[in-house]
């Protein structure tokens, strides 16, 4: 098992001009670790992160799009795996933070913790699917993961727990963040 | 209904090719769709064969809302082509992304079971009857397309949605030919 913040710190060290779309608990951790103009936040419709990311990947094929999804979130939009597998954007990287719980909604368990998400993504048509449960393996695989053609899916087996237990959505929903994101994309 | 009105209504047509032409004139490059029998023959099959439009077939209608929002950040225009049942199923996504986040979400919604000679609010089908009031409650502009003369509404509606970064719903009241 890994800690989410350690995974994110490892990822942040590798990034250049990629778009990063973190959802719910991941968003608060990611913002603390990597506050960048190329972060895209969308709340209020849980599960849609992968769909937003697909739109970004199609709209900006010149940029790599990384979605930091949650297991509870993805379960609300499992069909998006099939849509993404069919469209097959090469610039799409899907990291799934798997902790078996709806962390942002009180920490309740997902209906079945044993779900093989990487297996689902493989069956849906993702080009590369992999699981990580140690930081060392994740860190050493990251450079290649961020280079190879997608869509790529990686399940990160993490412990429960966010850096910020207080989720201040108002801060992340500030329209200025979307304006800054659009400006950064055009810059 | 008197016979004269019925005859006029029955003679009305909604031409799919003209709708697709208007969609293209509006700068739309992506169509995001779940099949709907109302628009299947007249719109979705021709769009699937159209080399100027990229069709993304999704599994569930709310995916379209996220995809369209993401595309807009790449300055790409998208049309969501769904049935009213899928619109109803996607209301939270539309509420969050289109309305509260003020994203340009353009929807073309087939009114399955609607009687073309009537206005949607007068439909005998409950699910159709509630669509316009729901749009009104959410502040989503809507346009009713039931004959060729209505196709002129498409480009201004799409241009406005993208210039103002706001949603719009175009309701298809009869099967396009």
CA distance B84 to chain A (A): 19
Residue A81 tokens read as 């795996």
Nearest to A44 among B30, B76, B96 (CB): B96
Beta strand residue intervals within B34-152, DSSP E: 54-57, 77-83, 106-110, 142-145
| Residue of chain A nearest B59, judged by CA positions | A79
Place of tokens 């991941």: A26
What pLDDT digit, counting tens, does each position of B100-159 carry? 999 999 999 999 999 988 999 999 999 999 999 999 999 999 999 999 999 999 999 999
Contact assignment for A44 to B30 by CB distance below 8 Å: no
Predicted model pTM: 0.95
SS3 B73: coil
Q: Spell out the domains of chain B, with CATH numbers in brackets.
A: 3-172 (3.40.50.970)
Mutate to test the interface with B, among A21, A47, A55 (most CBs of B within 10 A): A55
What pLDDT digit, counting tens, does each position of B55-101 carry? 999 999 999 999 999 999 999 999 999 999 999 999 999 999 999 99
Compute the distance between CA of residue A91 and CA of residue A184 in angstroms, rounded to an integer.
18
User: What does the domain layout of chain A look like in residue ranges?
Assistant: 4-161
Mention the CATH class of domain A4-161. Answer: alpha beta
Q: Is the ipTM of this complex over 0.90?
A: yes
Per-residue tens of pLDDT for chain A, all 187 residues: 999 999 999 999 999 999 999 998 899 999 999 999 999 998 889 999 999 999 999 999 999 999 999 999 999 999 999 999 999 999 999 999 999 998 888 888 999 999 999 999 999 999 999 999 999 999 999 999 999 999 999 999 999 876 666 777 878 888 999 999 999 999 8
């Amino acid at each position: 098992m890994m800690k989410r913040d350690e995974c994110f710190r490892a990822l942040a060290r590798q990034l250049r001009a990629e778009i990063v779309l973190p959802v719910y608990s991941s968003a608060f951790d990611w913002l603390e670790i990597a506050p960048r103009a190329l972060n895209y936040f969308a709340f209020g419709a849980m599960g849609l992160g992968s769909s937003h990311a697909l739109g970004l990947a199609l709209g900006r094929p010149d940029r790599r799009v990384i979605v930091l999804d949650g297991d509870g979130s993805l379960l609300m939009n499992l069909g998006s795996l099939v849509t993404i597998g069919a469209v097959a954007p090469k610039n799409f990287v899907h990291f799934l933070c798997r902790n078996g719980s709806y962390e942002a909604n009180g920490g309740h368990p997902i209906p079945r913790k044993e779900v093989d998400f990487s297996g689902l993504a493989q069956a849906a048509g993702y080009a590369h699917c992999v699981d990580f449960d140690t930081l060392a393996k994740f860190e050493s695989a990251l450079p290649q993961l961020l280079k190879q053609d997608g869509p790529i899916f990686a399940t990160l087996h993490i412990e429960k727990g966010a850096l910020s237990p207080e989720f201040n959505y108002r801060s992340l929903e500030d329209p200025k963040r979307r304006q800054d994101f659009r400006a950064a994309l055009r810059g | 209904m008197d016979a004269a009105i019925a005859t006029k209504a029955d003679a009305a047509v909604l031409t799919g090719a003209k709708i697709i032409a208007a969609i293209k004139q509006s700068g739309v490059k992506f169509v995001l769709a779940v099949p709907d029998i109302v628009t299947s023959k007249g719109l979705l099959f021709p769009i699937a064969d159209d080399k100027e439009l990229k069709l993304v077939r999704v599994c569930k209608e709310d995916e379209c809302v996220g995809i369209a929002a993401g595309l807009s950040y790449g300055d790409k225009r998208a049309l969501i082509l769904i049935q009213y049942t899928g619109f109803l199923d996607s209301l939270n996504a539309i509420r969050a992304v289109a309305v509260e986040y003020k994203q340009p979400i353009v929807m073309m919604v087939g009114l399955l079971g609607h009687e073309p000679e009537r206005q949607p609010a007068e439909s005998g089908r409950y699910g159709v009857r509630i669509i316009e009031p729901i749009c009104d409650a959410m502040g989503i502009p809507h346009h009713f397309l039931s004959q060729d003369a209505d196709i002129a509404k498409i480009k201004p509606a799409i241009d406005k949605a993208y210039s103002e970064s706001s949603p719009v719903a175009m309701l298809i009241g009869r099967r396009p030919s």
